Structure 1
């Protein structure tokens, strides 16, 4: 009989470790954002602090994948988590001493982003190794959906802790959760295999060239990666940055903004839960491409709306179908990747999923600053993405026929 995922000790520990660290991260980000705005009174530099997290993550993500193919993955995750605990302790000491300023926050954010670049390729390439192929889609969906939920719960907990205490409490709680994640991922507990030493001991550059060539010459990998790029560059990035702009343009409140963000998160979580229950095994290529077209359809409708309830509903529907692109694509890529290349391939997929959002942020901000209405910018983004998606579908017959 197929072993239950929740009876798989290694997966259970990796999953719980992921939940703890995502909850800690979400509390950390909200606390730092509020500290910059409320205590330092420097809202203009908040973007610089947040970008300090994403820039090193994007730059180092590929090397993180190379390392995941060379070193035991649980050791990478344990080491990065442990170092993040030390960074959190240092931040608490700086806060208690009154030395936590913008410069130190940017340095802390840079270190966090740098360490994230090694953690995520390791965990995404770990799951296919510790989980059976027939359980892989459920495992990915369970991990992704539940960690998405942490980014809804975390800010609520951080807000409550800031209400009853100060930043020492929220920073300490976040550090404690990351410490719990570190203990759970201790390598002897996970017992994941050590990567086999490769002949010739290739350099990092050779590994990088091999990984890129592997994706570029595989129709399945290339089509899947491009699907995720189109989704994030033309939908997820633009819709995320449009929320505060739309709320401001429509004369909304911070509560309206939270409802829009919650609607998108609810949609992505619902899709993840559906994939866990459904565990679709047939015609996944058609599902990915149909969902990609549906996501652009909902996004285009979203771009024309000017009433908050309808915007919330369309945000949720867009998030729902977007996850039906992302989750099956990740599973298809994992199933069709050699085990010794999983780290590099998954780092490319992760880069496609997160590296293009900052580009979208910059493009949308530039166009809005140029005088274009946000609805017009969103419509142009949706139309361009839809045209490119149709081209991808037409020129990807093998991916379209995948089960």
Structure 2
């Protein structure tokens, strides 16, 4: 990872620090919300599941329209407005927590939070190529991936400490402050969107127009690189989901020891952080690297199951984390390189929908089959399918002679 990007590009510096701080607050907030729901529902699995659904469902349903919003209006302003609305949500949550409100009101808050995320995610990614040169995109995406992984490790630990010794309200206040800091840094970014008209306005009535979705799908169909990228990554998420979602079940059945799953999660986090640090040094074309990552990840998933519960599984899981991070960074970079700015938002939105909507289905199918043939076997099948997914697209890559001249694009 080249730190000079933070010193030579002021816009990215403000964006990076602003998002790093607000994402840190988010990691605390998500822990606090989960804890509070379990607290007021008397550890009800059903009520907890409903809370998670109320947050994830709008992310799936509105992600495409959230991306379209970014194509029609100033992305910087959208991100700032989302931060402002997030502050308001935090204040409402503080009040609801103090008065011990009904869980139904929290479901409504979760749904609104999910809608904001549906707008934020595609614009978060599509904003990066508007402030970073093409040759620096891999490095920039590595920085942003590092933010997520570090917060994934630190956030829950600090949140648990704060909940125990200071209470939930402290976390909500900290989260509010992080959004204020993020807004102040975002305001410093000099951003002149090239795809808005002279008045900086577009037709708001067309945001929820299905013709916008059709336009995005038509663009993807006509762009061989983006089409193959979306197919390989969506299929990868679908077939790998049973492996990652059922891992905790495998560990519990084998050990009845939460420490093992904690160490495994830490191993994955270490790998993800390493991957974000080294990704920019790998001098292989983005598409080829993504395909090779699929093949290697499938092999490692198979080896993991065959070696489980040997101590070597910790090292294997670190390697899986490295590959996941490298693949994610290169997927982001390839989308940004080969998507026109005027449709970047809706393409990112369709991407989010194509991956997130398949995960619940995959979890359900995986769980159903696991009950009949065993968790270990469905996880082994999951790894095999990831491996085959990589092989199929590698064969397609060669047979179609897709020459992705990234050096020309990035220079």
Q: TM-score, normalized by length of structure 1?
A: 0.91
* Corresponding residue SS for 1:190: coil
Equivalent residue number for residue 249 of structure 2: 245
* Corresponding residue SS for 2:197: coil
Alignment of 1:345 with 2:347, yes or no, is yes
CA contact (8 A) 1:219 1:399 kept: no
Equivalent residue number for residue 193 of structure 1: 192
Alignment of 1:229 with 2:234, yes or no, is yes
Q: CA deviation at 1:281?
A: 4.8
Equivalent residue number for residue 11 of structure 1: 12
Within-5 A mapping of 1:3-402: 4-7=4-7, 8-44=9-45, 45-99=47-101, 101-186=102-187, 189-194=188-193, 195-197=195-197, 203=206, 204-235=209-240, 237-276=241-280, 278=281, 280-307=282-309, 309-368=311-370, 370-397=371-398, 401-402=403-404
For structure 1, list consecutive stretches of 5 or more residues without a partner in the other structure.
Answer: none
Moved more, 177-186 or 334-343: 177-186
Q: CA deviation at 1:118?
A: 0.6
Q: TM-score, normalized by length of structure 2?
A: 0.89
In the alignment, the residues of structure 2 paired with residue 120 and residue 255 of structure 1 have an alpha-carbon distance, to the nearest angstrom, of 32
* Corresponding residue SS for 1:391: helix
In the alignment, the residues of structure 1 paired with residue 112 and residue 357 of structure 2 have an alpha-carbon distance, to the nearest angstrom, of 17
Q: CA deviation at 1:259?
A: 1.4
Moved more, 167-176 or 112-121: 167-176
Let me know the Cα RMSD of the aligned residues.
Answer: 2.4
Q: For residues 292-311 of structure 1, what are the alpha-carbon distances to aligned partners after superposition, in whole Å with 9 as ceiling and x for unaligned?
A: 10011111222333316333
Q: CA deviation at 1:200?
A: 10
Q: How many residues align?
A: 395
Q: CA deviation at 1:353?
A: 4.5
CA contact (8 A) 2:295 2:388 kept: no
CA distance 1:323–1:354, shift in 2 (3 Å): farther
Q: For residues 370-389 of structure 1, what are the alpha-carbon distances to aligned partners after superposition, in whole Å with 9 as ceiling and x for unaligned?
A: 33321111112222333333
Q: CA deviation at 1:400?
A: 5.7
Equivalent residue number for residue 409 of structure 2: none
In the alignment, the residues of structure 2 paired with residue 23 and residue 399 of structure 1 have an alpha-carbon distance, to the nearest angstrom, of 43
* Corresponding residue SS for 2:314: helix
In the alignment, the residues of structure 2 paired with residue 145 and residue 200 of structure 1 have an alpha-carbon distance, to the nearest angstrom, of 35
